[in-house]
Chain A
């Protein structure tokens, strides 16, 4: 009996510790789980494997870019240029693939797009750390410049994709869609980076306090550059993924027209418990934030709810989630 109660108290203290450390994660996953259960019980169309995979495929587009956005927010910034980067990659990829569709050419195109994205990330961090422009404005400006170039190149949807390129979005590995595995791999990599590498730790440290990080010998300018380059890199992945899914490019595919990936990715990151202003958070929470947004969209559509009401509900959810996280934080410091 005594050992039983000891075990129970140990379990309780373990739970207490987990709750103290990972409140945001537990909260968001609980909400996600509840939403999922509601769908499974009340909406037969929701629980069909076809629909579930469809939800996941939608989640991938937002998920890829949100992984990078997590780093941009974690380092103390925000990346509002991802929408334009997605459009840029989408338009140029399909434009080039319409003419060159060999395997070598496709590889070169993909590598080229990633290189362009890394340069965009570098430019963002240069404007932020060297020119000392606030990240919000810096990335908004860079995003506007990119969007301008995109629209100079293509005014309307067009282009084509190479044969076989649709595998990225439509392929299956066994019973699981390839893009889902791709996203999970990316999340796992980002998780490892943030938790297990020095550079990753320094991202959160820089976001926590730039001065303290610098005084600790961390080269914060370099760390900020990493974060924004990764952010642009995953935006490029979303751009590539969308071309595969739509079979064409669109100068407005990253924003303005369909979903606004810049704002939606920030939403997913914040829902996932990453602190706006940096220092705390991670990609596991972001994954939940992405899934929450996707499941919610799907449920609303299946239930035939007016899209404007969807807007209202989503707005309420974002504001309340961030408010809940914030109130807990100030409670801790007291």
Chain B
């Protein structure tokens, strides 16, 4: 029995309104690959960021080789021999590959000056360990995403850390690069490094990990030897929860087609995606983070340029080149991040709701305030938006109310198809039920709805039809009536084996 190299004990961490981690304990041993799995938002990345010094936990302690340590900054984490590959790329496009790899730890020569040749040589060596052909002198911005991901891995390896955390390093990799990553992990293991490996792909877990810890809703379900557990039980543990939420009853049949997408392609992100949405129907789009769901929505809405394929709206082929055109074609897109892409926080409810349709209430080039009050007032009553007045700045409203304001803003321009990206993320349970109710009412009023969600109960409870995406492809379709969270999760994680 090897002893633990690092131990995180009873870690609790809250963000405003959310308990991200609730009394979590995790230990990792030298020469062991410890996989961490769980649904989106289960708290895996948060825990890793605590270990990397990005966040400070509210409670709990971290032991390194049995000694309690305080990891106050990323700088401190590096000093303690902890390196991390973040889920998002953390590289500077204007620097060269070598400069990126050693950013913050440049080798010094005479007079404390950077030793450029050593810098290049060492970067070349690390890249060779990874077995990739990348010129260390190349500007990072000129590399492909997969190459950049390899540079990110090289950066973490170059620290020669005792503990290496990998947060979904495989998301942008495939084929040979993935094999090389696994070889490197095997080599790290041989060198007695503790590897913590986060992945959504269960196949990878069984391929490389020794032990696996399952996260669910900010808590640890359990830690198991990989040799003593099978995939279906892992999946069960990842999602097993009580269905406390209440969903409105499903729709009764649907009408004509509102949206048809055929063979949509967009580089590596979307591969030959086809789908249909009808009037009166809520189509759920499930999949893991990075599966291409948001990209698909953006492509349909004209916010992302497409390489091929066609979009048909109400039976007519359209070229949606920009969000402005999409609006004219009666599309609405409620983005994932309400505060960044949906609302101007400093403006009032009235101004936010009226923003996209201002030009329709202009007289002599001035906004007709009376018409605005009428339009916004009516929709605020219809959606039962709880605001003291129309002049209330939205930054002081709750998450659920904000989401309703976003909905109001789009409904004023009378869309026929609404795309919801994570409609209830970060909203409390009561408000969630209200949003679901509104979505169902819209469908019953003849609108088509495409709903992206990472929350499985929501997908299963709301959708009339469920499409599951995996790595840019739609890998399966399930009728909402008979779908279960297990079936959706199987498709989303297995992808290749079951879907194609």
Contact = CB atoms under 8 A, between A and B. Distances in A.
Contact of B94 (A202, A219, A279): A279
A209 B113 contact: no
A219 B103 contact: no
Contact of B104 (A197, A213, A332): A213
A198 B90 CA distance: 18
B78 A217 contact: yes
Contacts of B78: 217
A201 interface: yes
A208 interface: yes
A197 B103 contact: no
A205 B141 CA distance: 14
Nearest to B108: A198
Interface in B64-114: 73-75, 77-78, 86, 90-95, 99, 103-106, 108, 112-114
A192 B113 contact: yes
Interface string A216-256: 11110000000000000000000000000000000000000
- Max chain A Cβ within 10 angstroms of own Cβ: one of B54, B95, B141: B95
Contact of B99 (A21, A201, A209): A201
- Max chain A Cβ within 10 angstroms of own Cβ: one of B52, B93, B155: B93
Contact of B75 (A192, A208, A209, A218): A218
B104 A216 contact: yes
Contacts of A217: 73-75, 77-78, 104-105
Contact of A280 (B86, B94, B103, B116): B94
B163 to A, nearest CB: 15
A130 interface: no
Contacts of B90: 211-212, 215-216
Contact of A201 (B73, B93, B106): B106
Interface in B289-307: none
A208 B92 contact: yes
Contacts of A205: 92, 95, 103-104
Contacts of B106: 198, 201
Contacts of A214: 73-74
Interface string B33-74: 000000000000000000010100000000000000000011
A196 B108 CA distance: 9
B93 to A, nearest CB: 8
A331 to B, nearest CB: 12
B94 A196 contact: no
Interface residues of B, number: 27
Given A196-B114, A198-B114, A218 B103 contact: yes
A113 interface: no
A216 B141 contact: no
A211 B104 CA distance: 13
Contacts of A266: none
A333 to B, nearest CB: 8
A212 B155 CA distance: 12
A279 B91 CA distance: 12
Contact of B103 (A192, A195, A213, A332): A213
B204 to A, nearest CB: 24
A204 B94 contact: yes
A202 to B, nearest CB: 7
Contacts of A204: 94-95
A210 to B, nearest CB: 11
Contacts of A209: 92
A208 B112 CA distance: 23
A328 B211 CA distance: 50
B132 to A, nearest CB: 20
B139 to A, nearest CB: 8
B108 A215 contact: no
Interface in A161-212: 192, 195-198, 201-202, 204-205, 208-209, 211-212
Contact of B74 (A197, A201, A208, A216): A216
A100 B280 CA distance: 89
Nearest to B106: A198
Contacts of A21: 139
Contacts of B116: 196
B310 to A, nearest CB: 23
- Max chain A Cβ within 10 angstroms of own Cβ: one of B77, B103, B139, B141: B103
- Max chain A Cβ within 10 angstroms of own Cβ: one of B78, B86, B90, B141: B90
Nearest to B54: A215
Contacts of A195: 114
A194 B113 CA distance: 10
B250 to A, nearest CB: 43
Interface in A2-41: 21
- Max chain A Cβ within 10 angstroms of own Cβ: one of B74, B139, B141: B74
A197 B109 CA distance: 10
B480 to A, nearest CB: 39
Interface in B110-149: 112-114, 116, 139, 141
A333 B142 CA distance: 9
Contacts of B104: 198, 202, 205, 213, 216-218
B321 to A, nearest CB: 15
Interface string A316-334: 0000000000000000110
Contact of A215 (B74, B99, B105, B139): B74
Contacts of B139: 21
Contacts of B54: 215
Contacts of B52: 215
Given A218-B103, A218-B104, A212 B91 contact: yes
A182 B78 CA distance: 40
A332 B86 contact: no
Contact of A197 (B73, B75, B93, B112): B112
Contacts of B94: 204, 208, 279-280
Contacts of A280: 94
Contacts of A218: 75, 103-104
B128 to A, nearest CB: 22
Interface string A86-120: 00000000000000000000000000000000000
Interface string B329-367: 000000000000000000000000000000000000000
A35 B176 CA distance: 54
Nearest to A21: B139
Interface of B: 52, 54, 73-75, 77-78, 86, 90-95, 99, 103-106, 108, 112-114, 116, 139, 141, 155
Given A198-B112, A201-B99, A208-B95, 13 more contacts: A21-B139, A196-B114, A197-B112, A197-B114, A201-B114, A208-B93, A214-B74, A215-B52, A215-B90, A217-B78, A218-B104, A279-B92, A333-B141
18 contacts: A21-B139, A192-B113, A195-B114, A196-B116, A197-B114, A198-B104, A204-B95, A208-B94, A208-B95, A213-B92, A215-B52, A216-B90, A216-B104, A217-B104, A217-B105, A218-B75, A218-B103, A332-B141
> Which 7 A-B pairs have CB atoms at the shortest separation, nearest pair first?
A217-B104, A216-B104, A196-B113, A217-B78, A208-B92, A216-B103, A217-B75
